[in-house]
Amino acid sequence: MRGAHEVGVIDKTTMREFDALCLSTVEDLAPDDIRALRERERASQAVFASYLNVTTDLVSKWERGQRRPSGAALKLLSIVKAKGLEALA
């Protein structure tokens, strides 16, 4: 598609739409799902938080349902879910 854009066959709007279609979807995770994901990776809350670049307290709040991950943290969690914690190393 990029080559087609470079030669002028498709316009910039079409490229943006194509790029958006290529993005993976990110699903919300329930508190139990986050805990299960962390335990599957055999990581403590502190280690898991370090990989995600968040605080241990925030991971704890996610797992208790006091807060919900969003934005970049939710995207990182979806990567860990699909590829494992080593994908963030």
pLDDT tens digits for range 55-72: 999 999 999 999 999 999
pLDDT of residue 12: 67
What are the domain boundaries of the chain?
A: 31-88
Whole-model pTM above 0.85? no
Residues 6 or more apart whose CB falls under 8 angstroms from that of 29 comprise 37, 62, 69, 74, 77, 81
User: To which CATH superfamily is domain 31-88 assigned?
Assistant: lambda repressor-like DNA-binding domains (1.10.260.40)
Task: Give mean pLDDT, residues 32-41.
Answer: 98
What does the pLDDT look like over 9-27, one tens digit per residue?
667 666 677 666 777 778 9
Q: For residue 39, name the pLDDT band (cuts at 50, 70, 90).
A: very high
Side-chain-side CA neighbours of residue 67 (13 Å): 14
